[in-house]
Structure 1
Amino acid sequence: MAEPEGLRHAAIAWLEQRTFDRQISLTRDEIADFRFQGEPFRLIPSYQGIWKPATFEATLSIVTTYRAPGKERPYNDALGEDGLHRYKWRGDNPNHPENAGLRRAMEQQLPIIWFTGVGGKPPQYQVTTPVYIVNEERDRQQFVLAPLEDASEIPERDGGSELVTALRRYMKRETVVRLHQPVFRSTVLVAYEDHCAVCNFAHPELLDAAHIIPDSEDKGVPDVTNGMALCKIHHAAFDRRFLGIRPTKDVPIVEIRQDLLDEVDGPMLRHGLQELHGKPLMKVPARRTDRPGNNNLVWAYERFLSATVEDVA
């Protein structure tokens, strides 16, 4: 038997719809809801990191396990200098069936599904799909992955190994938009259990994963300890330095800039900002390792204290 015609693309379309275009993460039970032609079909590996169903010639999906801050993953997957992810072989045999399945997906330019663990109980996975394997680095026993929308975006290889320079920057940018940002968002929202840290608002569709140190800064890494779940208004207020978070030994304290405290306006300003001044965060992650890094909070708080109306106008 061969791979059922249309299954791969049906699975990708279903996952995009189920995750609201990759905005939310899924548990294994939720992923198991997929049906093809009325029958259940498994999309995620049970234990191993690479899933090639028995009748398939090419890999259908891969998994990257969740890594708590400071912990290493079982496989040393990493970013390359070109900004694209490397996914390690299974073992060191290039002809292992799982490695052969990945190679076949590369040769046939077939899209695969990438499940990235983002924590939670039960564990949740951010879905990135479609993803294409655009190269194999045999000397390093790894494949090169790119989250592209279509096989037509896969660049030609220059000299047999290097990606075309003109497309490298584009692919790096797309990796940030289609992989890094959604994984960061899901990791942060899972840590805060889909609640705003400032006001405890609990609708994930209206929550953002806010960087404490902006990603435009060298220290602004997309790590859960550099993030907070914030509703739209408090994210904007934090970024514009109307709202600051004062580090403490216990739960950080919300502070509102003095000119806003002095302003007289409607109920949104009063209830949404002014009344939060001096109050502790309403939601912090249960796991201490997921809570904001103190150095990150100090950096952002000092920036808040130095803000003036002219600075943020």
Structure 2
Amino acid sequence: MTLTGEPPGISFDTRLRQEAMAWLTVRTNDGADWLTREDILDFTLDGESRRLQPTQQGIWKPRDLPAALSFQTVYRAPGKERPYNDEPGPDGMLRYAWRGEDPDQADNRALRAAMELEKPLIWFYGVGMGPAVFQAIFPVYILWEEPENKQFIIDLNVGRGIVNQSSPLEEHLRRYLTVETKRRLHQPVFRSTVLHAYRSRCAVCSLAHKELLDAAHIVADRYEGGIASVVNGLALCKIHHAAFDAHILGIRPDMVVEVREDILREVDGPMLRHGIQERHGQPLMVLPGNRAEMPDPGLLDIAYAEFRSA
């Protein structure tokens, strides 16, 4: 042991990052749940409270660390722009914009140091408001910087060692990165955004057990219109999600449930009768409280047409 009580070779910086990410794994049920700002303030190390998240600015570097510990993307309701544009580039790799125009600004230096020291970071991604809630994505790394575009390249612990700035991405590698980005960022963010908007209740039956709920795409994400946005989502329990995907039940653009005619005629047990058949002709029981997060009628129309043709 060293004089500081740390195992040899383990710096305080490394231990803080490891402990913070282990704590977040437990608090988020391995990434399944979102956290409020107040939740994130609960983290302690060696009996002392340690801040993990930026407040207003997008990047957080504690004074006693050599590089940034975390950064955040604020929630953007559909139709609203975020203060910073954090989007994938044409190569499928994620970008995170500089803070301001000055490359030597303190927050930009902090992220650059994390890049140079190859430090793992936490990405707090906003998934709702009132109060603000965040999905914690970790570990992520800064691969390189694009000063001409005033941005950093973000890696979700996927591309390190297999991509570099000087070599163009081959198509199979671009596809792999796109799939992994969807799995590690877009899917958990989509789930949390949708479940938060629907107050963790099934839109069809109002079931409130989060572990039994899914974020269902209205139009599947493999289609052009199948955007990973709350307006293309419905919080559905696993039974109603499966029934929706199988075209056993559909949802009209006026947000009324329809059940397929052959299913209505079927005689079976109480689950079919009470869980499916009795929902026919009934309005959705739960909808987002924020008008901007309501299901897109155009996407509902596409899904309903597929249901009617099934």
TM-score computed with the length of structure 2 as normaliser: 0.93
- Residue 265 of structure 1 deviates from its aligned partner by 0.7
**Deviations along 1:68-117, whole A, 9 cap, x unmatched?**
11011111222111222210111122122211111111122211000111
**Aligned counterparts, 1:100-179, within 5 A:** 100-148=109-157, 154-158=160-164, 160=166, 162=168, 167-179=173-185
| Residue in structure 1 matched with residue 89 of structure 2 by the alignment | 80
Distance of aligned partners of 1:237 and 1:156 in 2 relative to their CA distance in 1, 3 Å threshold: closer
1:255 is the counterpart of 2:258? yes
1:281 is the counterpart of 2:284? yes
Letter in 1 for 2:276: L
- Residue 161 of structure 1 deviates from its aligned partner by 5.9
Q: Distance in 1 between matches of 2:50 and 2:91?
A: 35
* Runs of 4+ that moved beyond 6 A: none
Distance of aligned partners of 1:59 and 1:296 in 2 relative to their CA distance in 1, 3 Å threshold: same
**Deviations along 1:223-274, whole A, 9 cap, x unmatched?**
11100000000000000100100122xxx11111011111111111111101
Residue ranges of structure 1 left out of the alignment (5+ in a row): 308-313
| Residue in structure 1 matched with residue 3 of structure 2 by the alignment | none
Q: Distance in 2 between matches of 1:60 and 1:218?
A: 36
Q: Distance in 1 between matches of 2:91 and 2:116?
A: 21
- SS in structure 1 of the partner of residue 51 of structure 2: coil
- Residue 187 of structure 1 deviates from its aligned partner by 0.6
- Residue 160 of structure 1 deviates from its aligned partner by 2.8
Query: Percent identity over the alignment?
Result: 54
| Residue in structure 2 matched with residue 98 of structure 1 by the alignment | 107
- Residue 10 of structure 1 deviates from its aligned partner by 0.9
Residue ranges of structure 2 left out of the alignment (5+ in a row): 1-10
Letter in 2 for 1:272: G
Q: How many matched pairs?
A: 301
- SS in structure 2 of the partner of residue 86 of structure 1: strand
Report if aligned partners of 1:118, 1:124 keep a CA contact under 8 Å in 2: yes
**Aligned counterparts, 1:1-313, within 5 A:** 3-148=12-157, 154-158=160-164, 160=166, 162=168, 167-248=173-254, 252-307=255-310
- Residue 295 of structure 1 deviates from its aligned partner by 0.2
Report if aligned partners of 1:155, 1:163 keep a CA contact under 8 Å in 2: no
- SS in structure 1 of the partner of residue 300 of structure 2: helix
TM-score computed with the length of structure 1 as normaliser: 0.92
- SS in structure 2 of the partner of residue 281 of structure 1: coil
